[in-house]
Amino acid sequence: MNKLIAITKTKDILPEYKKNPIGLLLEYHNLKKSFDTYNQAQLLIGMCMDNRKHLRIPDNFAFIIRTGGTNLRYSEFKISYAIAVGGVKYITLIGHNNCGMVNLISRKDLFIKGLVDKAGWNKKIAEDHFAHFAPMFEIGNEIDFILNETKRLRIRYPKIMFSPMFYRIEDNLLYLIKEK
């Protein structure tokens, strides 16, 4: 967690993010800035589908893609759409602690039993489903994954500004992640 930059006042926001939608996101969520009015999205937020996270942002401020572990590998068309059609020039990726996509193998039995008991699946089909998809969605360490996903997407979209962030479940605040 020593890679996290706490944002408790405006001056904590890194200079490259001040005066743009990334800085505004931090001000709205952490610093309780009064909402401005927006007619179109200012940025794209990629974040985990985890139900424990909720952002404090104005209506129409952002496109949001929620996917397990903030793994956007299979959401690039949506990202491209937000850029090409939606006009987005800023993207932030928000990981969080205690993510269910970390150490998926430890949840294998629970996953399979849940599909059998709750969804009516055949056990063998549930096992095959887990074996096929778990490696695609395992993220390892949350912070390292967000940093690597940010780097990957910067290469893919070189004219777009990206920022890696972290949401701490304990305090419901966003933190910037140090990249160096």
Q: Whole-number mean pLDDT of the chain?
A: 97
Length of the chain: 180
Which domains does the chain show, CATH number per domain?
4-101+141-177 (3.40.1050.10), 103-138 (no CATH)
Question: What per-residue confidence (pLDDT) applies to 2?
Answer: 81
Sign of CA dihedral 54, 56, 59, 63: negative
CA–CA separation, 107 vs 99, rounded Å? 12
Among the listed residues 59, 19, 17, the one whose alpha carbon sits nearest the alpha carbon of residue 36: 59
Check: CB of residue 17 under 8 Å from CB of residue 64. Answer: no
E-strand ranges in 11-96 read 43-47, 62-66, 90-96
Q: Tens of pLDDT along 96-143?
A: 999 999 999 999 999 999 999 999 999 999 999 999 999 999 999 999
Tokens for 175, please give them. Answer: 């933190």
> What global pTM score does this model have?
0.95
